[in-house]
Amino acid sequence: MRSANTGPDPERWARRRGGAAILALLWLIAACTPGGGEATPQNTVVTTTSTTVPADLSGGTLRVGLPDPVGISAPAVEGLPGLEVMDLLFDGLTSLGPDGRAIPAVAESWESDDGAIWDFHLRSDAVFENGEPVTAQSFVDAFTRLADPHTSAPLAPLGGYALGISGWGIPTDPNESSRLGVTAADPSTLRIVLDRPFSLLPEALAHPVFAPVATADLDPGGTSRPIGNGPYRLAGPWTPGTDIVLERSPTYRGPRPPAGRVEIIHMEPSDAAGILDRSDVDLALTTAGSVPSPGAAWSTVSTDGPDSLFLGFPVMVPPADQIDLRAALVLAVDRGALAASVDADLYDPLDRFIVPPLHGSDDSTCTTCRTDPEEALTRWETLDSPPDSIRLYHVNTPRARAAAETLAAQWAENPGVTVEAVSMDLLKLVESLGDGTVDGPFLLDWSWDVPTVLDVIGPLLETGSADNFTGLADSELDAALIDARGSLDPAEQSRAIRAATARIDELIPITPLLSRRITWGAADGLGGVTSDPYGRIRLAAVSVP
Protein backbone atom coordinates (compact mmCIF):
# COMPACT_ATOMS: atom_id res chain seq x y z
CA MET A 1 0.00 0.00 0.00
CA ARG A 2 1.30 3.47 -0.83
CA SER A 3 0.55 6.74 0.87
CA ALA A 4 1.02 10.35 -0.07
CA ASN A 5 2.86 12.98 1.92
CA THR A 6 -0.15 15.09 2.74
CA GLY A 7 0.43 16.00 6.35
CA PRO A 8 1.95 19.14 7.81
CA ASP A 9 5.37 17.50 8.03
CA PRO A 10 6.77 14.68 5.86
CA GLU A 11 8.87 13.06 8.57
CA ARG A 12 7.67 9.70 9.90
CA TRP A 13 9.28 6.85 11.74
CA ALA A 14 9.17 3.27 10.43
CA ARG A 15 6.07 1.20 10.07
CA ARG A 16 5.10 -1.80 7.99
CA ARG A 17 1.63 -2.79 6.89
CA GLY A 18 0.81 -6.19 5.47
CA GLY A 19 4.51 -6.94 4.93
CA ALA A 20 5.21 -3.84 2.82
CA ALA A 21 7.55 -1.08 4.00
CA ILE A 22 5.94 2.35 4.01
CA LEU A 23 6.02 5.77 5.58
CA ALA A 24 2.43 6.55 6.19
CA LEU A 25 -0.26 8.59 7.79
CA LEU A 26 -3.51 7.26 6.32
CA TRP A 27 -6.14 9.76 7.26
CA LEU A 28 -9.58 8.23 7.69
CA ILE A 29 -12.56 10.42 7.43
CA ALA A 30 -16.05 9.28 8.29
CA ALA A 31 -19.00 9.90 5.98
CA CYS A 32 -21.66 12.42 6.98
CA THR A 33 -24.84 11.16 8.58
CA PRO A 34 -27.84 11.20 6.24
CA GLY A 35 -31.40 11.66 7.29
CA GLY A 36 -34.88 11.02 5.98
CA GLY A 37 -36.57 12.35 2.93
CA GLU A 38 -39.14 11.46 0.31
CA ALA A 39 -38.45 7.98 -0.97
CA THR A 40 -37.52 7.21 -4.56
CA PRO A 41 -38.86 3.78 -5.63
CA GLN A 42 -36.06 1.24 -6.05
CA ASN A 43 -37.10 0.40 -9.60
CA THR A 44 -37.27 4.00 -10.77
CA VAL A 45 -34.38 6.05 -12.13
CA VAL A 46 -34.94 9.78 -11.79
CA THR A 47 -34.52 11.37 -15.19
CA THR A 48 -33.04 14.62 -13.96
CA THR A 49 -29.27 14.75 -13.51
CA SER A 50 -26.80 16.89 -11.65
CA THR A 51 -26.12 18.93 -14.76
CA THR A 52 -29.76 19.79 -15.43
CA VAL A 53 -30.99 20.53 -11.92
CA PRO A 54 -29.62 23.85 -10.65
CA ALA A 55 -27.96 23.78 -7.24
CA ASP A 56 -29.24 25.82 -4.33
CA LEU A 57 -26.16 27.90 -3.47
CA SER A 58 -27.72 29.78 -0.57
CA GLY A 59 -25.69 29.76 2.61
CA GLY A 60 -22.51 31.15 1.14
CA THR A 61 -19.20 29.62 0.09
CA LEU A 62 -16.82 27.74 2.39
CA ARG A 63 -13.20 28.09 1.24
CA VAL A 64 -10.91 25.28 2.41
CA GLY A 65 -7.14 25.16 1.94
CA LEU A 66 -5.69 21.68 1.36
CA PRO A 67 -2.80 20.13 -0.55
CA ASP A 68 -3.59 18.78 -4.00
CA PRO A 69 -5.57 15.52 -3.69
CA VAL A 70 -4.18 12.21 -4.89
CA GLY A 71 -7.42 11.11 -6.52
CA ILE A 72 -11.01 11.81 -5.47
CA SER A 73 -12.55 8.40 -6.17
CA ALA A 74 -12.05 5.03 -4.49
CA PRO A 75 -9.70 3.53 -7.13
CA ALA A 76 -7.24 6.43 -6.84
CA VAL A 77 -7.67 8.20 -3.51
CA GLU A 78 -5.04 8.25 -0.77
CA GLY A 79 -4.29 10.89 1.83
CA LEU A 80 -6.36 13.48 3.66
CA PRO A 81 -7.21 15.93 0.83
CA GLY A 82 -8.79 13.36 -1.47
CA LEU A 83 -10.63 11.68 1.38
CA GLU A 84 -12.02 15.07 2.49
CA VAL A 85 -13.43 15.58 -1.01
CA MET A 86 -14.85 12.06 -1.12
CA ASP A 87 -16.51 12.71 2.23
CA LEU A 88 -18.41 15.59 0.62
CA LEU A 89 -19.31 13.60 -2.49
CA PHE A 90 -20.38 10.29 -0.95
CA ASP A 91 -22.35 8.68 1.85
CA GLY A 92 -21.19 5.16 2.74
CA LEU A 93 -23.05 2.42 4.54
CA THR A 94 -22.30 4.02 7.91
CA SER A 95 -21.00 7.18 9.51
CA LEU A 96 -19.42 7.76 12.90
CA GLY A 97 -20.95 9.47 15.88
CA PRO A 98 -19.05 11.73 18.29
CA ASP A 99 -18.06 8.69 20.35
CA GLY A 100 -16.55 6.92 17.35
CA ARG A 101 -19.33 4.32 17.11
CA ALA A 102 -21.20 3.59 13.90
CA ILE A 103 -24.46 5.39 13.13
CA PRO A 104 -26.73 4.94 10.08
CA ALA A 105 -25.88 6.44 6.70
CA VAL A 106 -27.08 4.65 3.54
CA ALA A 107 -27.59 1.59 5.75
CA GLU A 108 -30.42 2.34 8.16
CA SER A 109 -29.74 -0.80 10.20
CA TRP A 110 -27.48 -3.86 10.30
CA GLU A 111 -27.15 -7.10 12.21
CA SER A 112 -24.90 -10.12 12.67
CA ASP A 113 -25.34 -13.27 14.73
CA ASP A 114 -21.68 -14.23 14.86
CA GLY A 115 -19.66 -11.16 13.80
CA ALA A 116 -18.56 -12.91 10.59
CA ILE A 117 -21.71 -12.60 8.43
CA TRP A 118 -23.32 -9.16 8.33
CA ASP A 119 -26.49 -7.88 6.69
CA PHE A 120 -26.84 -4.15 6.03
CA HIS A 121 -30.35 -2.88 5.24
CA LEU A 122 -30.35 0.19 3.00
CA ARG A 123 -32.62 3.23 3.03
CA SER A 124 -35.10 3.33 0.17
CA ASP A 125 -34.58 7.02 -0.64
CA ALA A 126 -30.82 7.18 -1.26
CA VAL A 127 -29.92 8.23 -4.80
CA PHE A 128 -26.85 9.28 -6.72
CA GLU A 129 -26.68 12.82 -8.03
CA ASN A 130 -27.82 11.60 -11.47
CA GLY A 131 -30.98 10.12 -9.93
CA GLU A 132 -29.89 6.47 -10.01
CA PRO A 133 -31.03 4.67 -6.83
CA VAL A 134 -28.33 3.53 -4.45
CA THR A 135 -28.91 -0.22 -4.06
CA ALA A 136 -27.05 -3.15 -2.59
CA GLN A 137 -25.64 -3.78 -6.06
CA SER A 138 -24.10 -0.28 -6.00
CA PHE A 139 -21.98 -1.43 -3.06
CA VAL A 140 -21.25 -4.85 -4.57
CA ASP A 141 -19.91 -3.12 -7.68
CA ALA A 142 -17.84 -0.71 -5.58
CA PHE A 143 -16.32 -3.43 -3.38
CA THR A 144 -15.66 -5.71 -6.36
CA ARG A 145 -13.81 -2.95 -8.18
CA LEU A 146 -11.81 -2.00 -5.10
CA ALA A 147 -10.90 -5.61 -4.24
CA ASP A 148 -9.68 -6.52 -7.72
CA PRO A 149 -5.85 -6.27 -7.69
CA HIS A 150 -5.98 -5.12 -11.31
CA THR A 151 -7.57 -1.89 -10.07
CA SER A 152 -4.36 -1.11 -8.12
CA ALA A 153 -6.26 1.09 -5.68
CA PRO A 154 -3.83 2.48 -3.06
CA LEU A 155 -6.27 1.90 -0.18
CA ALA A 156 -7.60 -1.46 -1.39
CA PRO A 157 -5.66 -3.46 1.25
CA LEU A 158 -7.98 -2.04 3.91
CA GLY A 159 -10.66 -4.50 2.82
CA GLY A 160 -8.34 -7.44 3.41
CA TYR A 161 -6.04 -6.97 6.39
CA ALA A 162 -8.25 -4.47 8.27
CA LEU A 163 -11.78 -5.71 7.57
CA GLY A 164 -11.03 -9.32 6.63
CA ILE A 165 -13.61 -9.57 3.82
CA SER A 166 -13.61 -13.08 2.40
CA GLY A 167 -12.02 -13.40 -1.05
CA TRP A 168 -10.56 -9.89 -0.96
CA GLY A 169 -7.73 -9.36 -3.42
CA ILE A 170 -8.36 -12.57 -5.40
CA PRO A 171 -8.43 -11.74 -9.15
CA THR A 172 -11.84 -12.12 -10.69
CA ASP A 173 -12.07 -14.88 -13.29
CA PRO A 174 -14.59 -13.83 -15.96
CA ASN A 175 -15.56 -17.51 -16.37
CA GLU A 176 -16.36 -17.99 -12.68
CA SER A 177 -18.68 -16.37 -10.22
CA SER A 178 -17.05 -13.88 -7.88
CA ARG A 179 -15.53 -15.33 -4.70
CA LEU A 180 -15.72 -11.97 -2.95
CA GLY A 181 -17.74 -12.09 0.26
CA VAL A 182 -19.94 -9.15 -0.71
CA THR A 183 -23.33 -9.90 -2.29
CA ALA A 184 -26.77 -8.38 -2.74
CA ALA A 185 -29.21 -10.57 -0.82
CA ASP A 186 -31.92 -8.37 -2.35
CA PRO A 187 -31.93 -4.83 -3.80
CA SER A 188 -31.92 -3.26 -0.34
CA THR A 189 -29.83 -5.78 1.63
CA LEU A 190 -26.05 -6.02 1.37
CA ARG A 191 -24.42 -9.13 2.83
CA ILE A 192 -20.73 -9.08 3.82
CA VAL A 193 -18.94 -12.30 4.77
CA LEU A 194 -15.66 -12.08 6.69
CA ASP A 195 -12.85 -14.57 7.15
CA ARG A 196 -13.10 -14.10 10.90
CA PRO A 197 -15.46 -12.26 13.26
CA PHE A 198 -15.03 -8.50 13.41
CA SER A 199 -17.45 -6.72 15.71
CA LEU A 200 -16.38 -3.24 14.59
CA LEU A 201 -17.07 -3.75 10.89
CA PRO A 202 -19.81 -1.06 10.89
CA GLU A 203 -17.30 1.47 12.26
CA ALA A 204 -14.66 0.50 9.69
CA LEU A 205 -17.13 0.84 6.82
CA ALA A 206 -17.46 4.57 7.52
CA HIS A 207 -14.22 5.03 5.57
CA PRO A 208 -15.00 6.90 2.30
CA VAL A 209 -13.13 4.32 0.21
CA PHE A 210 -16.07 1.94 0.80
CA ALA A 211 -18.59 4.33 -0.79
CA PRO A 212 -21.03 3.04 -3.46
CA VAL A 213 -20.44 3.46 -7.18
CA ALA A 214 -22.98 4.55 -9.80
CA THR A 215 -23.37 2.39 -12.88
CA ALA A 216 -22.00 5.15 -15.13
CA ASP A 217 -18.85 5.35 -12.99
CA LEU A 218 -17.88 1.73 -13.52
CA ASP A 219 -16.10 2.97 -16.64
CA PRO A 220 -12.47 3.14 -15.42
CA GLY A 221 -12.04 6.47 -17.15
CA GLY A 222 -14.80 8.16 -15.17
CA THR A 223 -12.74 9.44 -12.25
CA SER A 224 -12.34 13.17 -12.95
CA ARG A 225 -15.98 13.82 -12.09
CA PRO A 226 -17.23 10.95 -9.93
CA ILE A 227 -20.98 10.61 -9.52
CA GLY A 228 -21.65 10.88 -5.81
CA ASN A 229 -24.56 10.26 -3.48
CA GLY A 230 -23.45 12.70 -0.78
CA PRO A 231 -24.32 16.24 0.29
CA TYR A 232 -22.28 17.90 -2.48
CA ARG A 233 -21.53 17.35 -6.16
CA LEU A 234 -18.68 18.57 -8.31
CA ALA A 235 -19.50 21.75 -10.23
CA GLY A 236 -17.34 20.48 -13.09
CA PRO A 237 -14.61 17.98 -13.97
CA TRP A 238 -11.49 18.12 -11.82
CA THR A 239 -7.90 18.16 -13.07
CA PRO A 240 -5.03 17.48 -10.62
CA GLY A 241 -3.24 20.68 -9.68
CA THR A 242 -6.39 22.79 -9.90
CA ASP A 243 -8.89 23.94 -7.29
CA ILE A 244 -12.06 21.91 -6.72
CA VAL A 245 -15.50 23.51 -6.66
CA LEU A 246 -18.44 21.65 -5.12
CA GLU A 247 -22.05 22.69 -4.83
CA ARG A 248 -24.91 21.45 -2.70
CA SER A 249 -26.47 18.39 -4.37
CA PRO A 250 -30.17 18.85 -5.20
CA THR A 251 -30.78 15.07 -5.10
CA TYR A 252 -29.35 14.52 -1.61
CA ARG A 253 -31.96 13.24 0.85
CA GLY A 254 -29.93 13.73 4.02
CA PRO A 255 -29.49 16.80 6.24
CA ARG A 256 -29.06 19.97 4.22
CA PRO A 257 -25.43 21.18 4.50
CA PRO A 258 -25.17 24.82 5.63
CA ALA A 259 -22.84 26.10 2.89
CA GLY A 260 -24.21 26.14 -0.63
CA ARG A 261 -20.76 25.92 -2.16
CA VAL A 262 -17.37 24.55 -1.08
CA GLU A 263 -14.12 25.52 -2.75
CA ILE A 264 -11.09 23.32 -2.10
CA ILE A 265 -8.15 25.62 -2.74
CA HIS A 266 -4.78 24.06 -3.47
CA MET A 267 -2.20 25.16 -0.87
CA GLU A 268 0.51 23.64 1.27
CA PRO A 269 0.10 23.64 5.08
CA SER A 270 3.30 25.68 5.41
CA ASP A 271 1.62 28.53 3.49
CA ALA A 272 -1.75 28.32 5.22
CA ALA A 273 -1.10 30.71 8.13
CA GLY A 274 -0.29 33.64 5.85
CA ILE A 275 -3.28 32.93 3.65
CA LEU A 276 -5.56 32.71 6.70
CA ASP A 277 -4.11 36.04 7.89
CA ARG A 278 -5.33 37.63 4.64
CA SER A 279 -8.76 35.95 5.00
CA ASP A 280 -8.33 34.33 1.58
CA VAL A 281 -9.61 31.02 3.00
CA ASP A 282 -11.96 30.14 5.85
CA LEU A 283 -10.41 26.86 6.93
CA ALA A 284 -7.06 25.22 6.20
CA LEU A 285 -4.82 22.37 7.24
CA THR A 286 -1.80 24.10 8.69
CA THR A 287 1.50 23.35 10.39
CA ALA A 288 2.09 22.72 14.07
CA GLY A 289 2.86 25.93 15.92
CA SER A 290 0.98 28.11 13.44
CA VAL A 291 -0.31 31.29 15.08
CA PRO A 292 -2.37 34.17 13.68
CA SER A 293 -0.63 37.46 13.02
CA PRO A 294 -1.75 40.35 15.27
CA GLY A 295 -5.25 41.36 14.27
CA ALA A 296 -5.90 38.28 12.14
CA ALA A 297 -9.39 36.82 12.54
CA TRP A 298 -8.65 33.10 12.86
CA SER A 299 -7.56 30.56 15.44
CA THR A 300 -6.24 27.02 15.53
CA VAL A 301 -8.19 23.81 16.09
CA SER A 302 -5.95 20.96 17.23
CA THR A 303 -6.64 17.33 18.06
CA ASP A 304 -4.71 14.09 18.39
CA GLY A 305 -4.61 12.16 15.15
CA PRO A 306 -4.09 8.49 14.28
CA ASP A 307 -0.28 8.63 14.34
CA SER A 308 1.56 7.36 17.43
CA LEU A 309 5.20 6.74 18.37
CA PHE A 310 5.95 3.44 20.10
CA LEU A 311 9.06 2.00 21.70
CA GLY A 312 9.47 -1.65 20.81
CA PHE A 313 11.73 -4.47 21.99
CA PRO A 314 12.92 -7.63 20.19
CA VAL A 315 11.83 -9.87 23.05
CA MET A 316 13.66 -12.97 21.79
CA VAL A 317 17.05 -11.31 21.35
CA PRO A 318 19.50 -10.53 24.21
CA PRO A 319 19.61 -8.26 26.12
CA ALA A 320 15.99 -7.20 25.34
CA ASP A 321 14.80 -10.73 26.13
CA GLN A 322 14.91 -9.82 29.84
CA ILE A 323 11.58 -8.53 31.14
CA ASP A 324 13.22 -6.51 33.91
CA LEU A 325 15.43 -4.72 31.40
CA ARG A 326 12.40 -3.77 29.32
CA ALA A 327 10.50 -2.65 32.41
CA ALA A 328 13.41 -0.57 33.68
CA LEU A 329 13.81 1.30 30.39
CA VAL A 330 10.07 1.94 30.04
CA LEU A 331 9.65 3.20 33.60
CA ALA A 332 12.63 5.54 33.17
CA VAL A 333 11.03 7.40 30.24
CA ASP A 334 9.78 10.93 30.89
CA ARG A 335 7.18 11.31 28.13
CA GLY A 336 6.60 15.01 28.76
CA ALA A 337 10.29 15.79 28.31
CA LEU A 338 10.39 13.53 25.27
CA ALA A 339 7.50 15.40 23.60
CA ALA A 340 9.16 18.74 24.34
CA SER A 341 12.46 17.62 22.83
CA VAL A 342 10.92 16.21 19.67
CA ASP A 343 8.36 18.95 18.96
CA ALA A 344 6.08 20.30 21.68
CA ASP A 345 3.81 21.85 19.05
CA LEU A 346 3.31 18.55 17.28
CA TYR A 347 3.44 15.75 19.85
CA ASP A 348 1.68 14.95 23.13
CA PRO A 349 2.67 12.35 25.74
CA LEU A 350 0.70 9.11 25.28
CA ASP A 351 -0.15 6.95 28.30
CA ARG A 352 -2.35 4.35 26.59
CA PHE A 353 -2.18 2.03 23.61
CA ILE A 354 -5.06 3.61 21.68
CA VAL A 355 -5.11 7.36 21.03
CA PRO A 356 -8.21 9.13 22.41
CA PRO A 357 -10.95 9.39 21.28
CA LEU A 358 -10.53 6.21 19.22
CA HIS A 359 -13.00 3.54 20.27
CA GLY A 360 -11.49 1.43 23.04
CA SER A 361 -9.12 4.13 24.28
CA ASP A 362 -10.54 4.18 27.81
CA ASP A 363 -9.93 0.44 28.10
CA SER A 364 -6.35 0.62 26.78
CA THR A 365 -4.62 2.48 29.60
CA CYS A 366 -1.02 1.45 30.18
CA THR A 367 -0.01 0.98 33.82
CA THR A 368 3.69 0.94 32.93
CA CYS A 369 3.39 4.23 30.99
CA ARG A 370 4.53 6.28 33.94
CA THR A 371 7.83 7.78 35.03
CA ASP A 372 9.01 5.87 38.09
CA PRO A 373 12.79 6.26 38.54
CA GLU A 374 12.86 4.27 41.77
CA GLU A 375 11.12 1.22 40.32
CA ALA A 376 13.14 1.54 37.12
CA LEU A 377 16.39 1.32 39.07
CA THR A 378 15.08 -1.55 41.19
CA ARG A 379 14.12 -3.57 38.11
CA TRP A 380 17.51 -2.88 36.53
CA GLU A 381 19.37 -4.03 39.63
CA THR A 382 17.54 -7.37 39.57
CA LEU A 383 19.29 -8.26 36.31
CA ASP A 384 21.95 -10.95 36.69
CA SER A 385 24.34 -9.13 34.36
CA PRO A 386 23.15 -5.61 33.55
CA PRO A 387 24.62 -4.55 30.18
CA ASP A 388 26.98 -1.59 30.14
CA SER A 389 25.51 -0.42 26.83
CA ILE A 390 22.56 -1.03 24.53
CA ARG A 391 21.63 0.00 20.99
CA LEU A 392 18.54 2.07 20.15
CA TYR A 393 17.44 1.82 16.50
CA HIS A 394 15.55 4.53 14.63
CA VAL A 395 14.87 6.01 11.20
CA ASN A 396 17.29 8.67 10.05
CA THR A 397 15.13 11.80 10.37
CA PRO A 398 15.63 14.88 12.57
CA ARG A 399 12.66 14.11 14.84
CA ALA A 400 13.58 10.45 15.22
CA ARG A 401 17.13 11.48 16.08
CA ALA A 402 15.83 13.96 18.65
CA ALA A 403 13.69 11.26 20.25
CA ALA A 404 16.61 8.82 20.32
CA GLU A 405 18.96 11.40 21.83
CA THR A 406 16.45 12.26 24.55
CA LEU A 407 15.85 8.62 25.45
CA ALA A 408 19.61 8.01 25.50
CA ALA A 409 20.10 10.90 27.93
CA GLN A 410 17.25 9.74 30.16
CA TRP A 411 18.55 6.16 30.28
CA ALA A 412 22.10 7.32 30.93
CA GLU A 413 20.80 9.02 34.08
CA ASN A 414 18.51 6.18 35.08
CA PRO A 415 19.15 3.25 35.08
CA GLY A 416 22.67 4.32 34.11
CA VAL A 417 23.28 2.56 30.79
CA THR A 418 25.18 3.88 27.78
CA VAL A 419 23.03 4.04 24.65
CA GLU A 420 24.33 3.84 21.09
CA ALA A 421 21.74 5.37 18.77
CA VAL A 422 21.74 3.45 15.48
CA SER A 423 20.29 5.49 12.61
CA MET A 424 19.10 3.70 9.47
CA ASP A 425 17.17 4.56 6.37
CA LEU A 426 13.60 3.30 6.40
CA LEU A 427 13.98 0.26 4.19
CA LYS A 428 17.09 -0.93 6.01
CA LEU A 429 15.40 -0.58 9.40
CA VAL A 430 12.31 -2.45 8.27
CA GLU A 431 14.51 -5.18 6.76
CA SER A 432 16.55 -5.45 9.96
CA LEU A 433 13.42 -5.58 12.12
CA GLY A 434 11.95 -8.23 9.87
CA ASP A 435 14.97 -10.55 9.82
CA GLY A 436 15.68 -10.31 13.55
CA THR A 437 19.07 -8.59 13.38
CA VAL A 438 17.96 -5.70 15.61
CA ASP A 439 19.34 -6.44 19.09
CA GLY A 440 17.97 -3.51 21.08
CA PRO A 441 14.94 -1.26 21.52
CA PHE A 442 13.59 0.52 18.43
CA LEU A 443 11.32 3.45 17.64
CA LEU A 444 8.24 2.66 15.59
CA ASP A 445 5.73 5.13 14.13
CA TRP A 446 2.26 3.61 13.73
CA SER A 447 -0.89 4.95 12.11
CA TRP A 448 -4.14 3.10 12.65
CA ASP A 449 -6.29 2.78 9.55
CA VAL A 450 -9.71 1.85 10.94
CA PRO A 451 -11.17 2.69 14.35
CA THR A 452 -10.49 -0.54 16.17
CA VAL A 453 -8.10 -1.85 18.80
CA LEU A 454 -6.99 -4.53 16.36
CA ASP A 455 -5.46 -1.96 14.05
CA VAL A 456 -3.17 -0.72 16.83
CA ILE A 457 -2.01 -3.42 19.20
CA GLY A 458 -3.30 -6.29 17.05
CA PRO A 459 -0.99 -5.89 14.03
CA LEU A 460 1.95 -4.95 16.25
CA LEU A 461 1.70 -7.95 18.58
CA GLU A 462 -0.45 -10.78 17.20
CA THR A 463 1.47 -13.99 16.67
CA GLY A 464 2.52 -14.28 13.04
CA SER A 465 1.57 -10.71 12.09
CA ALA A 466 3.79 -9.23 9.39
CA ASP A 467 3.93 -6.07 11.50
CA ASN A 468 5.01 -7.84 14.69
CA PHE A 469 8.65 -6.78 14.87
CA THR A 470 8.96 -7.73 18.54
CA GLY A 471 8.97 -11.47 17.94
CA LEU A 472 6.34 -11.93 20.66
CA ALA A 473 4.18 -15.05 20.41
CA ASP A 474 1.77 -15.20 23.32
CA SER A 475 -1.37 -17.31 23.27
CA GLU A 476 -3.01 -15.40 26.14
CA LEU A 477 -2.65 -12.08 24.32
CA ASP A 478 -3.80 -13.64 21.04
CA ALA A 479 -6.94 -14.97 22.73
CA ALA A 480 -7.77 -11.57 24.23
CA LEU A 481 -7.31 -9.86 20.85
CA ILE A 482 -9.55 -12.43 19.16
CA ASP A 483 -12.23 -11.75 21.78
CA ALA A 484 -11.83 -7.99 21.34
CA ARG A 485 -12.24 -8.31 17.59
CA GLY A 486 -15.11 -10.77 17.59
CA SER A 487 -17.33 -9.95 20.56
CA LEU A 488 -20.64 -8.30 19.70
CA ASP A 489 -21.26 -7.48 23.37
CA PRO A 490 -19.75 -4.04 24.19
CA ALA A 491 -19.11 -5.04 27.79
CA GLU A 492 -17.34 -8.22 26.76
CA GLN A 493 -15.37 -6.32 24.16
CA SER A 494 -14.19 -3.81 26.77
CA ARG A 495 -13.20 -6.67 29.07
CA ALA A 496 -11.18 -8.27 26.27
CA ILE A 497 -9.39 -5.01 25.46
CA ARG A 498 -8.49 -4.56 29.12
CA ALA A 499 -7.24 -8.14 29.27
CA ALA A 500 -5.10 -7.58 26.17
CA THR A 501 -3.54 -4.38 27.45
CA ALA A 502 -2.96 -5.92 30.89
CA ARG A 503 -1.04 -8.72 29.21
CA ILE A 504 1.03 -6.20 27.26
CA ASP A 505 1.74 -4.37 30.51
CA GLU A 506 2.96 -7.64 31.97
CA LEU A 507 5.21 -8.59 29.05
CA ILE A 508 6.21 -5.09 27.82
CA PRO A 509 7.02 -5.91 24.18
CA ILE A 510 6.05 -2.33 23.24
CA THR A 511 5.10 0.86 25.03
CA PRO A 512 3.36 4.00 23.68
CA LEU A 513 5.37 7.22 23.86
CA LEU A 514 3.79 10.08 21.90
CA SER A 515 0.72 10.92 19.83
CA ARG A 516 0.86 13.29 16.87
CA ARG A 517 -1.43 16.31 16.79
CA ILE A 518 -3.32 17.56 13.72
CA THR A 519 -3.74 21.32 13.39
CA TRP A 520 -6.28 23.30 11.37
CA GLY A 521 -6.73 27.05 11.12
CA ALA A 522 -10.35 28.26 11.23
CA ALA A 523 -11.68 31.76 10.56
CA ASP A 524 -13.60 33.42 13.37
CA GLY A 525 -17.36 33.20 12.91
CA LEU A 526 -17.47 29.77 11.30
CA GLY A 527 -20.10 27.47 12.78
CA GLY A 528 -19.95 23.72 13.23
CA VAL A 529 -16.15 23.49 13.28
CA THR A 530 -15.60 20.28 15.20
CA SER A 531 -13.05 17.52 14.85
CA ASP A 532 -14.03 13.87 14.64
CA PRO A 533 -12.26 10.76 16.00
CA TYR A 534 -9.76 11.01 13.13
CA GLY A 535 -8.70 14.59 13.74
CA ARG A 536 -10.42 16.02 10.69
CA ILE A 537 -13.10 18.68 10.33
CA ARG A 538 -16.53 17.60 9.07
CA LEU A 539 -16.71 20.08 6.20
CA ALA A 540 -20.34 19.31 5.35
CA ALA A 541 -21.38 20.60 8.79
CA VAL A 542 -19.46 23.90 8.66
CA SER A 543 -21.39 27.14 8.13
CA VAL A 544 -19.99 30.48 7.01
CA PRO A 545 -21.13 33.82 8.48
pLDDT per residue as tens digits for the range 484-535? 999 999 899 999 999 999 999 999 999 999 999 889 999 999 999 988 777 7
pLDDT grade for 409, boundaries at 50, 70 and 90: very high
| More confident call, 115 vs 531 | 115
pLDDT given for residue 326 in this prediction: 98
Mean pLDDT (whole number) for 401-414? 98
pLDDT grade for 38, boundaries at 50, 70 and 90: very low
339 Cβ contact partners less than 8 Å away, ≥ 6 residues apart: 347, 348, 349, 514
pLDDT given for residue 19 in this prediction: 39
499 Cβ contact partners less than 8 Å away, ≥ 6 residues apart: 480, 483
| pLDDT over 50 (residue 26) | no
pLDDT grade for 29, boundaries at 50, 70 and 90: very low
55, exposed or middle or buried, with CB in 10 Å at 0-12, 13-18, 19+?
middle
Domains along the sequence of the chain with CATH:
306-517 (3.10.105.10)
Q: Which amino acid belongs to residue 310?
A: F
pLDDT, averaged across the chain = 87
Long-range contacts of 456-463 (CB under 8 A, 24+ apart): 456/308, 456/353, 456/354, 456/358, 456/364, 457/353, 457/354, 457/364, 457/481, 457/500, 457/501, 457/504, 457/510, 458/484, 458/485, 459/17, 459/161, 460/310, 460/312, 460/510, 461/504, 461/509, 461/510
Mean pLDDT (whole number) for 346-360? 85
| pLDDT over 90 (residue 453) | no
Q: Any idea what DSSP says for residue 50?
A: T
pLDDT given for residue 451 in this prediction: 67
pLDDT given for residue 360 in this prediction: 81
pLDDT given for residue 51 in this prediction: 54
pLDDT given for residue 176 in this prediction: 59
| pLDDT over 50 (residue 290) | yes
pLDDT grade for 173, boundaries at 50, 70 and 90: low
pLDDT given for residue 362 in this prediction: 87
| pLDDT over 50 (residue 434) | yes
| More confident call, 306 vs 177 | 306
Q: By mean pLDDT, which of 12-21, 189-198, 309-318, 427-436 is the weakest?
A: 12-21
pLDDT per residue as tens digits for the range 43-71? 333 334 455 688 889 999 999 999 999 99
In the chain, pLDDT over 90 holds for what percent of residues? 73
Mean pLDDT (whole number) for 88-116? 94
